[in-house]
Amino acid sequence: MADISHRKVKKQIRLTDGKGNPIADSPVRIKQTNHSFLFGCGAFDFIPYVMKGEEEYRQVTDSWLEIFNYGTLPFYWGGYEPVEGKPNQDTLMKTAEYLKSKNVRVKGHPLCWHTACADWLMEYDNETILKKQLERIDRDVTAFKGVIDMWDVINEVVIMPIFDKYDNAITRICKDLGRVGLIKRVFERAHDNNPDAVLLLNDFNTSVNYEILIDGCLNAGVPISAIGIQSHQHQGYWGREKLEEVLERFSSFGLPIHFTENTLISGEIMPGHIVDLNDWQVEEWPSTPEGEERQAREIEEMYRILFEHPLVQAITTWDYRDGAWLNAPSGYIRKDNSLKPSYNMLKKLVKEEWWTDVDLTTDNDGCVTIDAFKGDYDLISGDLKGNAAFNDDSPITVQLERS
């Protein structure tokens, strides 16, 4: 039986009315409104909805919001600032603010990466590229502070200086500065601009290479808040054994772990000989009924394993809808926006099995004791209402007000 006690609190709550008197011997509903755990998903589809209000995307975002409390928005430099000096800040800001208004935490992805980078950077010498990279971090981390306080600061550094598919500005400067040298510069800059931000290092390489890289960064004083692990499993589910082995190795640093980019597909598995997933370009990649059952089963096993691990704080599924990256059947909903078995399974986990919503009765001192999943709560007694966050076992008093 999985031990998930670290996801819960055992809490004594004392309820008082507006005058501070105990609400004694009364019914109270304690109803979770959010998880502390970050159940995330790519939130790219919110952009067309927020900017154009298209109905097609509203169906997407509505079902998205029923499960997730955490979304990733794209800050790929090439797309974000296709012409130097003209960043897409307004679009991203409006979308991030919309998500925030829906109680969704937002992460920006990424501030530095060799892929999907701005081509115009290549006109400059390496010193200037680094300068512009750091200024880009200044500008965007500062502009979004308070709306986006979580960043994938730098992406895929293990391969960065030896990436040879095409020339790009970031591989050039990473060759010059070395991996840890560049990581140090971009993290310091992000940290300077938003000292309270959660800053991630993110990689698809889960080998000892990445372990050694993290070890070096931590000893070099890089302010890494959490280790980001990608898990695009187009070539088949890792399985429990690999997953537990990866968790064991990366938990040795004692840092929080985020599964930042998870993919499990509901169609044919990509052949194992493909090294760079981007090399697999297909016209059609159908989702199949058997594939959808398998996907739901694998996502369930994986989320249960990760939720059980005390250092894992976030899991983000990469594609919400089939047919996004690589045209893969990688989503929780199909291309026609209909819900897949994986959607229903995850919603049940997140909003039923791992969710607290109970009716209790206070004692004569206004107290109740509850065993609840960590998160935000509404407390309702008759026409009195209050709210609180439950993140530890210390007793609290909550004052309810007439709503």
Note the residues at the interface with a second copy (CB under 8 A). Answer: 158, 162, 175, 178-181, 184, 208-209, 212-213, 215-221, 252-253
Kind plus residue range of the DSSP H or E element containing 173: helix 169-177
Report the alpha-carbon distance of residue 321 to residue 64 in Å, rounded. Answer: 10
Residues in the chain: 403
Q: How far is CA 368 from the centre of its chain?
A: 33
Segments of 43-102 assigned E as strands: 70-74
Q: Which is nearer to a second copy, 96 or 182 (CB)?
A: 182
| Structural tokens at position 382 | 């008759």
Pick 212 or 282: Cβ nearer a second copy:
212
CB of 311 to a second copy, least distance (A): 16
- Shortest distance, CB of residue 267 to a second copy, whole angstroms? 33
Quote the least distance from Cβ 361 to a second copy, whole Å: 50
The smaller minimum CB distance to a second copy, of residues 122 and 220, is found at: 220
- Between residues 188 and 357, which has the closer beta carbon with respect to a second copy? 188
The nearest distance, CB 251 to a second copy, in angstroms, is 13
Q: What is the enclosing helix (H) or strand (E) of 176? A: helix 169-177
C-beta separation of 186 from 108 below 8 A: no
**Shortest distance in whole angstroms from residue 209 CB to a second copy:** 6
Q: How far is the CB of 218 from a second copy (least distance, A)?
A: 7
Of the pair 148, 217, the CB lying nearest a second copy is at 217
- Cβ closest to a second copy, residue 178 vs residue 395: 178
Measured between alpha carbons, how far is 71 from 100 in angstroms, rounded to an integer? 10
CA distance 271 to 183: 33
Cβ contact 397:67 at 8 Å: no
